[in-house]
Structure 1
Amino acid sequence: MKKIIFFHLLNDYSGSPKVLSQVIDAVSKKGFDAELFLGGKGSSGFLSSVPCVQRRYFYKRFDNKFLTLISYTLSQVLLFFKLLKYRKSSVIFYVNTLLPFGAALAGKFLGIKVFYHIHETSIRPRPLKAFLRWVVEKCSSSNIFVSHFLARTEGFSKVESQVVYNAIPQAMSRIAARHIYHPFTDGQFCVLMICSLKTYKGVNEFLHIARSLNLNPSFKFNLVLGATEAEASEFFLGTPIPDNLTVIFSCADVVPYYQRASVLLSLSKPDEWVETFGLTILEGLSFGIPCIVPPVGGPVELVSDDCEGYLMTSSRVEEISARLVDLQKDSDTCYRLSAAAKIKSLSFSSEKFESGVLGVFDGI
């Protein structure tokens, strides 16, 4: 059986490395020999303990975007030459996200089959995105998209593709299945958001909503960030954190926060970043948490308005705050949304995910 070599740029606690860790688990259980190339040194994240050999290649992020772009380009050139040793090897290259283009170019050069798992659409600058799409068109044998929205938006007419919805890990799924949702925990109505520390993720909007409800003692806000405390301190420098908000950093285990949550918010700003799926939304649904999500992109495939939650644009913070107040006063609606959320989450099982991913390798 062939070896599958996986490629990812930056290991952290965001969605794409989490999904890749599940892919590696799936192929390892199936008996494939797996190897992982990761950019950077020593970064912790969901890929830190995957069951395969890990190799590192150069990559470093800088505060200066131009320097980061130079570092990124250099990393992919070095990765390309590092992979030339696989000439005449019986391997498959599996590129996670559009970013590790050096692996795709090396695969094309060496005559190795290249598969892409595509998670994103909002890549800047535009010339970079155009170049990355060109690499996919020239090098990929098959693409996996995480949603039908993404497949429509970023499809490649000359490359075979399929949609494989993300799923939550089986261990979390078992915990979620046993969880009984309650609108209040210890007398508090807890509003949760889990995201990267980026303005386009709606972090400032979340603070605004928390601040607007600071005088209501029933409300508690938890913001779980895929960032270190130092990074968050710099981001929030000069920004007062309301008393009803707790910020959690670089959290590997988010289950306790889902277990306490009354509502989950996803506040990505569609004019800057379109969510192509929304793994935290699916995780929230599996715990029976009503979700307020953007009305565009992948979240629409997870949440229907007034069914599992609500579709609301993040810029309308006053309306979102008012909706939260309504839910805090109406437990019956919370329970109705929660029941629908649990049912919807069953459509995104880990079994379907693994079957979809493994199906890509049929006949190889």
Structure 2
Amino acid sequence: MKIIAVHLVNDFSESSKVLKQLVKGWSKNNINAELYMGKGRKGFLSTTTQTTTNHFWYPVFKNPILKLLFIITSQFILFTKLLFTLKKSDTLYINTVLPFGAALAGKIRGCKIMYHIHDTSLTPKIFKLFLFNVVKWTANEVVYVSDFLAKQEPLKIKSNVIYNVLEKDFINQCKGIKTTQKESKIILMICSLKANKGVSEFLQLAHLNRNYTFKLVLDASQKEIDNYFKLEYLPDNLVIYPTQEDTHPFYREASIVLNLSDTRSSVETFGLTILEAMAYGLPTIVPPVGGVVELVKEGENGFLIDSKNIPLLTRSLNELLQNTALYQKMSTTAKEYSRFFCEEYFESESTRILSN
């Protein structure tokens, strides 16, 4: 068996990290794989050494019209490239629904086509409809990152759920960390620089809770951050950081980790940063819908609160940070929950699906 894995944007997102873990697992199980991905960006896949990497043209732009135009152009290039290199015996493994050019080429060549679906919040809606119709027409099998996503985007295709997991290297760095309340009260959020990820709500919480330190790590450059906040008044207890390759120092010093995604426009399908926080024994506060509720149990290892409910968020932060017994209980439970989401589970499930 030979796997041709395809990914559009190499960055520091969950989807890039998952593909890196997949490639690592395939290599460990002696499965021959080759990777195709967009050229020019640095991310988790930049350090992948277990497979041959081929690049195709895809410049990343923030402008939505240019972005859509370049996605379509890149997929025409990818389609042409794969049409003349794919063999019928190859298994085409498409990471996210975006690389539709690969699926069309694979369909023509008669390959087995598998999709790893990470997200449902794609815009514009007509483009999302087109992408999922390509999945329905071309795919033999799909893998979802959560039960929530499988129910949200049901397809009449053989489907599986493989939860995202933590790498062994990450878990090893968490060992020895005590699940106790810290003297410094730091509230952490790691997310994209988008309004629907709760950036404004995090800012409001920082304004209202001046006795705590708020740290915001954004997947964006310093220039993008400066432009985004240029008209905002930032309180002294808020520190904002650009893209970080190593997030361990932030988790080590944090007391609580937040996910404030808007439940109306950006429902989380999993939430890897929440799982990483749990591995450090950190209680979390997340939205009450989406894949994150498969990680966080209300009152056990965190709270489920809508990001628009600022008064309840503030009360919950104070309750956690002032009640040592409650914090200790949630911290211990969080660490215990995180142990299921390990590489062994991920690799065995991935290998089982490919073998079938």
TM-score, normalised by the number of residues in structure 2: 0.96
> Structure 2 unaligned runs (5+)?
none
Q: Give the whole-Å Cα distance in 1 for the aligned partners of 2:87 and 2:116.
A: 24
2:273 to 280, 287, 294: 280
Secondary structure (helix, strand or coil) at the match of 1:296 reads: coil
1:209 to 205, 212, 218: 205
Aligned to 1:73: 72
Aligned to 1:176: 174
> 1:87 Cα shift?
4.1
Cα deviation code 1:277-299 (max 9, x no counterpart): 11111111111100100000101
Give the fraction of aligned pairs with identical amino acids, expressed as a percent: 41
> 1:165 Cα shift?
0.8
Secondary structure (helix, strand or coil) at the match of 1:47 reads: helix
1:334 lines up with 2:327 in the alignment: yes
> 1:118 Cα shift?
0.4
Counterpart residue type for residue 44 of structure 1: K
> Structure 1 unaligned runs (5+)?
none
Q: Give the whole-Å Cα distance in 2 for the aligned partners of 1:63 and 1:224.
A: 19
Q: Give the whole-Å Cα distance in 1 for the aligned partners of 2:44 and 2:233.
A: 31
Counterpart residue type for residue 160 of structure 1: K
1:196 lines up with 2:192 in the alignment: yes
Counterpart residue type for residue 173 of structure 1: I
Alignment of 1:10-159 (within 5 A): 10-41=9-40, 43-51=41-49, 52-88=51-87, 90-157=89-156, 159=157
Q: Is the 8 A contact 1:12 1:226 kept in 2?
A: no
Q: Give the whole-Å Cα distance in 2 for the aligned partners of 1:34 and 1:236.
A: 43
Counterpart residue type for residue 341 of structure 2: F
Cα deviation code 1:266-286 (max 9, x no counterpart): 000011111001111111111
Q: Is the 8 A contact 1:287 1:342 kept in 2?
A: yes
Q: Is the 8 A contact 1:14 1:195 kept in 2?
A: no
Counterpart residue type for residue 191 of structure 1: I
Q: Give the whole-Å Cα distance in 1 for the aligned partners of 2:11 and 2:233.
A: 27
Counterpart residue type for residue 284 of structure 1: A
Aligned to 1:6: 5
Q: Is the 8 A contact 2:283 2:330 kept in 1?
A: yes
Q: Give the whole-Å Cα distance in 2 for the aligned partners of 1:248 and 1:29.
A: 35
Give the CA RMSD over aligned residues. Answer: 1.3
Secondary structure (helix, strand or coil) at the match of 2:45 reads: coil
Secondary structure (helix, strand or coil) at the match of 1:271 reads: coil
TM-score, normalised by the number of residues in structure 1: 0.94
Counterpart residue type for residue 82 of structure 1: K
> 1:19 Cα shift?
1.0
Aligned to 1:249: 242
> 1:231 Cα shift?
1.5
Q: Give the whole-Å Cα distance in 1 for the aligned partners of 2:60 and 2:311.
A: 36
Cα deviation code 1:2-51 (max 9, x no counterpart): 2212111111111111111111111111112222211142x111111112
Q: Give the whole-Å Cα distance in 1 for the aligned partners of 2:227 and 2:71.
A: 23
Q: Is the 8 A contact 1:119 1:145 kept in 2?
A: yes
Q: Give the whole-Å Cα distance in 1 for the aligned partners of 2:197 and 2:112.
A: 35
Assess, with a 3 A threshold, how the Cα gap between structure 1 residues 239 and 40 changes in structure 2: closer, same or farther: farther
Q: Give the whole-Å Cα distance in 1 for the aligned partners of 2:194 and 2:207.
A: 19
1:240 to 219, 233, 238: 233
